[in-house]
Amino acid sequence: MKAKRIFILCTLLLAIAAQTFAATAIVAGGCFWCMESDFEKLDGVTDVISGFTGGTLENPTYNGNHTGHYEAVEITYDPQKLSYKQLLDYYWVHIDPFDAGGQFCDRGHSYKAAIFVANDEEKKIAEESKLEVQAMFPDQEIVTPILAAATFWPIQGDESYHQDYYKNNPVRYKYYRWGCRRDQRVEEIWGDKVKHEM
């Protein structure tokens, strides 16, 4: 009985420790299938959840009402392996920072790119990161906004098929991504700075 209690206590302590060392970030970059696919390949990322954020509507849905919300991902990462700055460096080269009307073939408010910051430190890092990107493109305006984090609404229920869509529907996903010319456009902007696998 004593050994069982010790085992349970150790398990709980490990779970708490794992949560202590995890951090989250929320970004939008057009289709959340693609953002999920890109970020799950980044070393130090432990989980990526597709959903909505940025609007005031509660319980937004993909096929129903998500007015005012962005398609976004909540990224869980290990800050001992990956800093918030490094995560943002990776983010920039996977979006089109000049597009104010959506991303790639997806148009409209819900497909716009944005960085959602949870505190002053994240805001400072995000603003510095945006300035670095702007310096790379002095003749073009970086339109991706930095916004205060709002409630993140994960995809759920009947729409859960959107989560891990790229894994569960690889042929359809690759066809969509190719047809949307996402990879072609990021390579056009970023050159060899971008690394992706469809």
How many other C-beta atoms are found inside a 10 Å radius of the C-beta of residue 54? 26
Catalytic residue, from 31, 34, 105, 180: name it.
31
Q: Does the active-site annotation cover 34?
A: no
Residues tagged active-site: 31
